[in-house]
A and B are shown apart, each in its own frame.
Chain A
Amino acid sequence: MIQLIDVTKTYNTGKSEVHALKGISLEIPDNTFISICGKSGSGKSTLLNMISGADKPTGGHVFIDGVDINQLSDKRMSEMRNNKIGFVFQSFLLEPSLTALENVELPLLMRKMSREQREKIAIEMLDKVGLRERLRHKPGELSGGEKQRVSIARALAISPKILIADEPTGNLDEATGNSIMELIREHTKNCTFVLVTHDTALAQTADMKITIKDGMISRND
């Protein structure tokens, strides 16, 4: 379970302070599909940072499976992310100098797996997302939809307990976006799926729906 208690986040940009989150409290049960909506600058991505442990809150606590992640050292936090959380982003964030296979292998590398093991899992994942024939292609040689499939395969390679997706269909056309969402949903039945989106129709399909406005939860269904 993911639990946020009175989480605040303030960025000091030098000239002024930006209060990105203003006391967010939230409980996300295991294996839940939760959507987070909100306008640009509302604090969605910052909330995502808090849930994933990518950033530490200024105030409050974030618990994942009962562990206060703010108390973890950088090494333990990195291990936890590597073991439990998968990420999919709008801009794919693939390393251009690596092939699709090598990109998917990246999170497994941190687990100190052998090359053979990594390759086996990565090929299996790329096969699942329909890119069996594109293993040796670099991101520059793939379409937008294919890049996102690679990024999904990379996120799923670690068999995550939590999958976090930030606007995963934002850079894709509608048809490709739909197929990507179907793909993600198909593989996240047994994990918590946190989706940040502008698409209200897509958000409505979630088990839990949250709307963020000015750093606060304005609606929680």
Chain B
Amino acid sequence: MIKVYLMKLGLKWMARHKLRYVLSWLSFAFVSIVLICIYSISTGISDGVLNQMETNPLSYQVHMKNQRLAEGEIKSDLTEELCNIISGELGAKEFRILYDSFLTLEKIDGNKVESVSAISAYHTGHSFLLGNEIVSESVLYKGNLQGGRNENAAVVTTEFLSAYGFDMDSILGKELLLKDENGAEYSFTVVAVLYNINPQCWLANAEIYVAYNPASGNNLLSEKIIPSIVTFDFSSDRDMSEIKERVTSFGYPYSTAEINAEKVQLLANKYSSIGSFLGIAMAIISAMSLMNSVIITINENAAFMNMFRLMGLTAANHRFLICFITAVQGAIGGMAGFLFSCFAQRQLGNLIESFNLVVYEEFALNFKVDIKVSLFVMLMCIMVSVAAGAVSFVISSKESTVIAADNELV
């Protein structure tokens, strides 16, 4: 009963000094916003990574389980047969190879085209990539095309269009005929146009490409090629040190993918660490600000509180009153931070997108305030506030003794 009464009294005091306390809970709201956003983004990225792993096991944008092992440089003896053996030994789900072989573009839609000898080709187990030979700068750049050998579908670049006199609409559906060094023919149908593939060697090192289909206006392909010759994909957790050792035993150097889920999560953890540090620093500052307000309130009401003590209020109840006041400040701040964060979540998503963190864009767009994180942050704000209240109580108790020495208080 007394505690309920003290809570009412605390609320009355807060109402009486509301302007003083607005700053306190606002500072806690600010702490909450920062922490909620940082942790929600980190959680969002981590969830996104996990989601990728579950729904798209072959994704090499972000996937820890599909670790890639790559040869450092092209080796002529790295045949498909050998890769099959290595893949079997390693227990990889599948592998892809970039061969150093040559094709020439012979015809487009049945019509003979020029400059075909300038095109060198690399193909993989499942896809096909054509581009200019940029090693020799004297060769006229004609753009690139990429195709799937199995699907017989090709994607071409905008440069390719202009080099062969096509526009976006007219190239779609066109038949491309290519020949390899042995005279074997490969036929492809152009299904999409790619931007930002220029030049081809840059393409080989690039991370993400955006395919554009002028007919539908949708992105068709989000593709990345890493500078690897053979890529092994694993669909389950593996002891990577053992695999690396095994690859080394085959006489090939290895490297891991430049961007994978592990690195994304590492980055998310760094965000969390920075956010935690900032949050803790801000929480301490907020706590000090709150302590300042509370100590003023305690001192302003010291005479009455001493009277209350004389009437039988225990020190524990007195401390409860002070801690209740500060806890309410923390709770209001935490709740306000949560509401502000919810209100601003779309804007925050856009803001993150504007950071141009391409790989994380899809997660940023999905950013939303995490309820569990918000509850945790609110709890943290309340705990920090209560601690501030307890410290304020101790400081004020010491001060009141000194004041008593001057006979100003009972």
Interface residues, chain A, with chain B CB atoms under 8 Å away: 11, 13-14, 18, 20, 40-41, 44-46, 48-49, 52, 54-55, 74-75, 78-79, 81-83, 85, 87, 89, 91, 93-95, 97, 106-107, 109-112, 154, 166
Nearest CB in chain B to that of A44: its residue = B407
Query: Can you list, as one digit per residue, whether each of B279-323 has a CB less than 8 Å from chain A (1) or not (0)?
Result: 000000000000000000000000110111111111110000000
Nearest CB in chain A to that of B6: its residue = A109
Nearest CB in chain B to that of A55: its residue = B404
Q: Which of B308, B310, B402, B405 has the most chain A CB atoms inside 10 A of its CB?
A: B310
The reply to whether B312 and A107 contact each other, CB–CB distance below 8 Å, is yes
A87 to B402, CA, bound (A): 22
The reply to whether A54 and B309 contact each other, CB–CB distance below 8 Å, is yes
The reply to whether B307 and A93 contact each other, CB–CB distance below 8 Å, is yes
Nearest CB in chain B to that of A105: its residue = B5
Q: Which of B311, B407, B410 contacts A106 (CB 8 A)?
A: B311
The reply to whether A54 and B5 contact each other, CB–CB distance below 8 Å, is no
The reply to whether B303 and A81 contact each other, CB–CB distance below 8 Å, is no
Nearest CB in chain B to that of A113: its residue = B1
* A13 in contact with B405 given A54-B309, A89-B307 (CB within 8 Å): yes
Q: Which of B308, B405, B410 has the most chain A CB atoms inside 10 A of its CB?
A: B410
* A11 in contact with B314 given A78-B309, A106-B308, A109-B5 (CB within 8 Å): no
B13 CB within 8 Å of chain A: yes
Query: Can you list, as one digit per residue, whether each of B1-22 has a CB less than 8 Å from chain A (1) or not (0)?
Result: 1100100010011001000000
B273 CB within 8 Å of chain A: no
User: Which positions 313-338 of chain B face chain A at CB distance < 8 Å?
Assistant: 313-316
Which residues of chain B are near A74, meaning CB under 8 Å?
314-316
A40 to B12, CA, bound (A): 35
Which residues of chain B are near A14, meaning CB under 8 Å?
402
* A82 in contact with B306 given A11-B401, A11-B402, A89-B410 (CB within 8 Å): no
A75 to B16, CA, bound (A): 30
A48 to B310, CA, bound (A): 12
The reply to whether B407 and A46 contact each other, CB–CB distance below 8 Å, is yes
Which residues of chain B are near A55, meaning CB under 8 Å?
401, 404
The reply to whether B313 and A110 contact each other, CB–CB distance below 8 Å, is yes
The reply to whether B311 and A87 contact each other, CB–CB distance below 8 Å, is yes
A18 to B403, CA, bound (A): 12
Which residues of chain B are near A49, meaning CB under 8 Å?
404, 410
Which residues of chain B are near A93, meaning CB under 8 Å?
303-304, 306-307
Chain A: minimal CB distance from B402 (Å): 6
A11 to B405, CA, bound (A): 6
Which residues of chain A are near B308, meaning CB under 8 Å?
106
Which residues of chain A are near B310, meaning CB under 8 Å?
52, 54, 81, 85, 87
Which residues of chain A are near B404, meaning CB under 8 Å?
11, 46, 49, 55
A28 to B388, CA, bound (A): 43
Q: Which of B2, B12, B313, B410 contacts A45 (CB 8 A)?
A: B410
Chain A: minimal CB distance from B314 (Å): 5
The reply to whether A48 and B311 contact each other, CB–CB distance below 8 Å, is no
Chain B interface size, under 10 / 10 to 19 / 20 to 34 / 35 or more: 20 to 34
A54 to B15, CA, bound (A): 29
Chain B: minimal CB distance from A2 (Å): 16
A74 to B315, CA, bound (A): 7
Nearest CB in chain B to that of A85: its residue = B310
* A18 in contact with B410 given A82-B312, A110-B312 (CB within 8 Å): no
A109 to B7, CA, bound (A): 14
Interface CB pairs A-B, < 8 A, 10: A13-B402, A14-B402, A44-B407, A52-B410, A55-B404, A83-B312, A87-B310, A87-B410, A93-B303, A112-B1
A200 to B30, CA, bound (A): 60
Nearest CB in chain A to that of B315: its residue = A74
Chain A: minimal CB distance from B8 (Å): 10
Which residues of chain B are near A106, meaning CB under 8 Å?
308, 311
User: Which positions 392-410 of chain B face chain A at CB distance < 8 Å?
Assistant: 401-402, 404-405, 407, 410
The reply to whether B313 and A78 contact each other, CB–CB distance below 8 Å, is yes
A13 to B407, CA, bound (A): 13
Chain A: minimal CB distance from B359 (Å): 58
User: Which positions 362-410 of chain B face chain A at CB distance < 8 Å?
Assistant: 401-402, 404-405, 407, 410
Which residues of chain A are near B410, meaning CB under 8 Å?
45, 48-49, 52, 54, 87, 89, 166
Chain B: minimal CB distance from A111 (Å): 8
The reply to whether B13 and A97 contact each other, CB–CB distance below 8 Å, is yes
Nearest CB in chain B to that of A166: its residue = B410
A20 to B401, CA, bound (A): 12
The reply to whether B311 and A110 contact each other, CB–CB distance below 8 Å, is yes
Which residues of chain B are near A166, meaning CB under 8 Å?
410
Chain B: minimal CB distance from A34 (Å): 17
Which residues of chain A are near B314, meaning CB under 8 Å?
74-75, 78
Which residues of chain B are near A79, meaning CB under 8 Å?
312
Q: Which of B16, B401, B404, B407 has the most chain A CB atoms inside 10 A of its CB?
A: B407
Which residues of chain B are near A112, meaning CB under 8 Å?
1-2
The reply to whether B401 and A97 contact each other, CB–CB distance below 8 Å, is no
A46 to B310, CA, bound (A): 14
A74 to B319, CA, bound (A): 13
A79 to B401, CA, bound (A): 22
Which residues of chain A are near B407, meaning CB under 8 Å?
20, 40-41, 44-46
Which residues of chain B are near A13, meaning CB under 8 Å?
402, 405
Q: Which of B304, B308, B312, B404 has the most chain A CB atoms inside 10 A of its CB?
A: B312
A189 to B13, CA, bound (A): 38
A4 to B116, CA, bound (A): 115
